[in-house]
Amino acid sequence: MKNELLTMEKYITKIADLWLNIKDKIKELAETYVEMIDKYPESKELILKKLDENGATISRHTLNRLEDIGRGRMHWRLMPGFTEINQAAKIRLLPYSDQKEILESDKKWPLLLENGDSILVDFKSCPKKQIEQLIDSDGHIRTLPEQKIWLIDNTNQNVQAKEITDPYKITSRGLEIAGFIFTKPKLKEILMQM
């Protein structure tokens, strides 16, 4: 039993060490890939073919992400398959310096609540709705005044959507409710039964 625990501890230690080294390997891979495609642009297709021949199929999307990492446009932890962060795609829109700050620091950002109060939140644990409020589509972290405008706009869109959506629609064929069409004679029959 003691030998088994020691063996398990060795595996745990080895896996932890390998995981800690993966960051450096991904960065090295990404930098080497960028160096290669800068010198030999035609190599993009050749590397896909070579990897496929060796049974290590990689997608063009993954290569694009490696290029982003190698050029310093994307943090390695935002690589698909290496992140547990909600809305990583939205965080990828941010400049690399913001990505790095979000992923490597304990900094918290102000989030405006609907009642006007604000709280400090960590991007790494924010739900989708909060990430949408914090990051705009241009890759910018919104300030509190910008969040206020976003909240107002978002609330107005929800109200307008509710006002427009009626449970019924009048068409040339009759009254349509939930996909069912009631003709005038059928409506008269229903009203007579009431």
Give the pLDDT of residue 134.
94
Residue-wise pLDDT for 41-83, tens only, equals: 988 888 888 888 888 778 888 889 899 999 999 998 888 777 7
- Give the chain's residues under pLDDT 50: none
On whether residue 174 sits in a domain, the answer given is yes
What 3-state DSSP class applies to 107?
coil
For residue 171 the two structure tokens come to 């068409």
On whether residue 54 sits in a domain, the answer given is no
On whether residue 185 sits in a domain, the answer given is yes
Number of domains the chain is built from: 1
On whether residue 189 sits in a domain, the answer given is yes
Give the pLDDT of residue 24.
82
Contacts of 69 (CB under 8 A, 6+ apart): 26, 27, 30, 75, 76, 79
